[in-house]
């Protein structure tokens, strides 16, 4: 099935990748623009990066976003791993298809719907139980966990489905208890999936705007909310600098993770062969 890519394939890949990358590259170039007018070139400068790091609103929003992303992705990986095991290993049970449906739906559901409905739940809970007292980090965290766990579940589940189960079965035949099988055999085997699930959850949480807007309260402004409120007013050279840093950091992380996992996968295949 492998062969040289045809000229048609090359052209469509060329056009496609140009379309995907040109806007980002141009945005990055203009972040080094000395002029305050983003689109008029006024010479090379790193002025806006300095401004960015001195901008306290940006720094505190970044701090909050990182905190929420870390807390959300840890919980999402925990819940997503259990959910993945339930769907891939527990066989049939009543209500399974509803469960699987609730995993698929948050990934495609327009975020305005998820955000509004979750907010109405919290408001109702507040009236009934007095908890959560106000919207803030806790409510944002619940929203992000719900969204991210769906993605983590899909990653873990597909890994578990593809995985060779003979080792797990051998361990069980030798009398290992299920918990031991899970922690000693299954968990190390799905470690790469856990890592990519974590990375996915972390970046999704870091990037989420719409659900956060519904669930955040006064005094809990995340980075995407801050960017959004500024970008609404028009182009802003500081945002170009911030975007450039985001792209570089996330890009490097993803490329490194991808390389590491590709190598692990290759090694695993060699060992299995």
Partner 1 sequence: MKRFFPSGQTLLTAIPYGWLLLFFLVPFLFVLQISFSEVEIASPPYRPLVEFADNLINISLNIGNFTFIAEDSLYADAYLSSLKVAITTTVLCLLLGYPMAYAIARAEESRRNTLLMLVMLPFWTSFLVRVYAWMGLLNNEGLINQLLLNFGFIQEPLQLMHTAFSVQIVMVYTYLPFMILPLYANLVKLDGRLLEAASDLGCKPWEAFLKVTLPLSKNGIIAGSMLVFIPAVGEFVIPELVGTPEALMIGKVLWMEFFDNNNWPMAAAVTTIMLALLVLPIVFLHRREERMLAQAAARH
Binding residue for partner 1, selected from 49, 80, 159, 185, defined by CB under 8 A: 80
* 116 interacts with partner 1 by CB under 8 A: yes
Q: Which of 218, 217, 239, 244 is nearest to 228 (CA)?
A: 239
Q: Which of 57, 73, 79, 220 binds partner 1 (CB under 8 A)?
A: 79
By CB under 8 A, is residue 264 in contact with partner 1? Answer: no
For position 110 contacting partner 1 by CB under 8 A, the verdict is: yes
DSSP 184: I
Could you say whether residue 232 binds partner 1 (CB under 8 A)?
yes
As a whole number of angstroms, the distance between CA 76 and CA 150 comes to 8
Indicate whether 74 belongs to the interface with partner 1 (CB under 8 A).
no
Q: How far apart are the first and last CA of the chain?
A: 21
Dist CA 204 CA 146 (whole Å): 11
Q: Residue 94, exposed/middle/buried by CB under 10 A (0-12, 13-18, 19+)?
A: exposed
* Residue among 42, 50, 63, 178 that touches partner 1 (CB under 8 A): 178
Residue 37: Cβ-neighbour burial (10 angstroms; 0-12, 13-18, 19+): exposed
Task: Please select the residue that binds partner 1; options are 46, 60, 229, 258, rule is CB under 8 A.
Answer: 258
Taking the C-alpha atoms of residue 195 and residue 261, their distance in angstroms, rounded to an integer, is 9
**Counting contacts by CB under 8 A, is residue 111 touching partner 1?**
yes
Q: Which stretch binds partner 1 (CB under 8 A): 33-41, 42-50, 52-60, 128-136?
A: 33-41
Report the residue from 66, 70, 167, 243 that binds partner 1 according to the rule CB under 8 A.
Answer: 243
Q: In angstroms, what is the minimal distance from the CB of 191 to partner 1? A: 19
Decide: is 73 part of the binding site for partner 1 (CB under 8 A). no
**Backbone torsion region of residue 11, taken as left when φ is above 0, otherwise alpha when ψ lies between -120 and 50, otherwise beta:** alpha
Give yes or no for residue 95 binding partner 1 (CB under 8 A).
Answer: yes
The answer to whether residue 256 forms part of the interface with partner 1 (CB under 8 A) is no
């Amino acid at each position: 099935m492998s062969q040289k890519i045809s000229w048609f394939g090359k052209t469509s890949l060329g056009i496609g990748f140009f379309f995907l990358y040109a806007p980002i590259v141009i945005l990055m170039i203009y972040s080094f623009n000395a002029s305050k007018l983003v689109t008029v070139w006024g010479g090379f400068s790193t002025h806006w990066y300095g401004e960015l790091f001195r901008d306290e609103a940006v720094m505190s929003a970044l701090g909050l976003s990182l905190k929420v992303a870390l807390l959300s992705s840890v919980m999402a990986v925990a819940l997503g791993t259990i959910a993945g095991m339930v769907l891939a290993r527990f066989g049939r049970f009543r209500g399974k298809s509803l469960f699987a449906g609730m995993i698929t739906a948050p990934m495609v559901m327009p975020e305005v719907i998820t955000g509004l409905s979750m907010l109405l739940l919290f408001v109702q809970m507040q009236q009934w139980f007095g908890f959560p007292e106000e919207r803030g980090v806790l409510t944002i965290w619940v929203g992000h966990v719900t969204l991210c766990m769906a993605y983590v579940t899909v990653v873990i589940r597909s890994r578990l489905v593809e995985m060779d189960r003979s080792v797990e079965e051998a361990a069980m035949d030798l009398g290992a208890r299920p918990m031991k099988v899970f922690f000693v055999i299954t968990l190390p085997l799905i470690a790469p999936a856990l890592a990519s699930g974590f990375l996915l959850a972390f970046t999704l949480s870091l990037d989420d705007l719409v659900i956060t807007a519904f669930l955040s309260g006064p005094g809990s402004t995340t980075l995407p909310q801050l960017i959004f409120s500024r970008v609404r007013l028009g182009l802003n050279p500081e945002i170009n600098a911030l975007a450039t840093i985001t792209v570089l950091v996330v890009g490097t992380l993803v490329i490194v993770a991808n390389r590491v996992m590709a190598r692990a996968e290759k090694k695993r295949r060699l060992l299995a062969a």
